A and B are shown apart, each in its own frame.
Chain A
């Protein structure tokens, strides 16, 4: 028996995305953000996207290019403080922004990835963030219903992958990547290094191959992946 080979060209990976798709994008700041997949999405220009990501990157990087190119209708995020364009577009009502508490965003994605419909929590219960959400009494305690969050696509950055799509993330580049890699219908991965089957010890795999649909090998990393000089 042999595992299938999922490597394809970056153009073909991103061409699967249609106008109006929901797209999860891994990363927290620079680490784990799939800048090359995002840049290809900017080049192909699909519009009306809902982007689900921890943050909106910084000016001139990643998600900021999608915003500048008018491709995004809605952001579901936890923090956009480092992207003045996102704040300005939101204030001008040119961009819908849904804020989630960070761990709640993670858990909504994890729930969808685990095939669940949602979960109960007391996080945000007496704040503005609970507006529009259903609160029920559960075991004597007011509990907020948080819905699982899925997407049509996930764009993932791995430091290493084998050809079947077993993934390993580096240091703090893990963040939302392993969760999003479980929660989307089509999971598109860029990897810094593509290894033959068997070269990743099974007990060190972060994301198991069955969750992954397509792999793109990065021949070189763009400037965006470097240490940010502030």
Chain B
């Protein structure tokens, strides 16, 4: 994936974030969304390790050794930031105070099932906070590459990997498409610039509903 395509998908996902929201960004690609939030948008970023109001990340030279986000990046405070313990941090999540979480994925199924914590026998990093984020954030969207490094579609009919949470995903942003999970199935909303609907469908294991001929691009 070219850096241009990568930037476009992250920029597109960043449009999820509206003023006044409390938001958790998952480790990896979702964290990059920070760079594309407009400076005048009021948003409170939550981090699992006990921060509400995560500020911009800092270089190693300027870092505070005691202040990281859940992904291990050195971050700063803002006027209004608070610190708390891990029980309070997840009370905030389970109580429904997160408006939005953007998470990564190994697989997402057409009904919104999410798998992102284990590839049994190969790579089991553990779920960290993902189970509670996926189950309890008011809106769960996924930001991921459309295919894994072997060219297999991550957008699948049914997850073959153990689930993080069932039927939790509302929308998926990939390098190829924007997809919505609906009661009737998975709907293709937008295609990446330069890709045809047929190319997206061919690259996707899950069946896609195509709502019209004039889809937006990003």
Contact = CB atoms under 8 A, between A and B. Distances in A.
Interface of A: 28-32, 54, 77-82, 87, 90-91, 99, 101-107, 109-110, 121-124, 126-129, 159, 170-179, 206, 225-230
A107 B125 contact: no
B86 A54 contact: yes
Given A106-B89, A123-B94, A127-B163, A87 B66 contact: no
A172 B83 contact: yes
Interface in B154-171: 162-166
Contacts of A110: 87
Nearest to A82: B72
B127 A174 contact: no
Given A28-B70, A78-B128, A128 B87 contact: no
10 contacts: A31-B65, A31-B67, A101-B131, A103-B87, A103-B89, A105-B86, A106-B90, A171-B66, A175-B86, A229-B60
The range of chain B's interface size is 35 or more
B144 interface: no
B126 interface: yes
Contact of B83 (A90, A91, A174): A174
A212 B178 CA distance: 52
Given A103-B93, A127-B166, A179 B87 contact: yes
- Most chain B CB within 10 A, of A82, A106, A226, A228, is at A106
B215 interface: no
A72 B72 CA distance: 25
Nearest to B114: A127
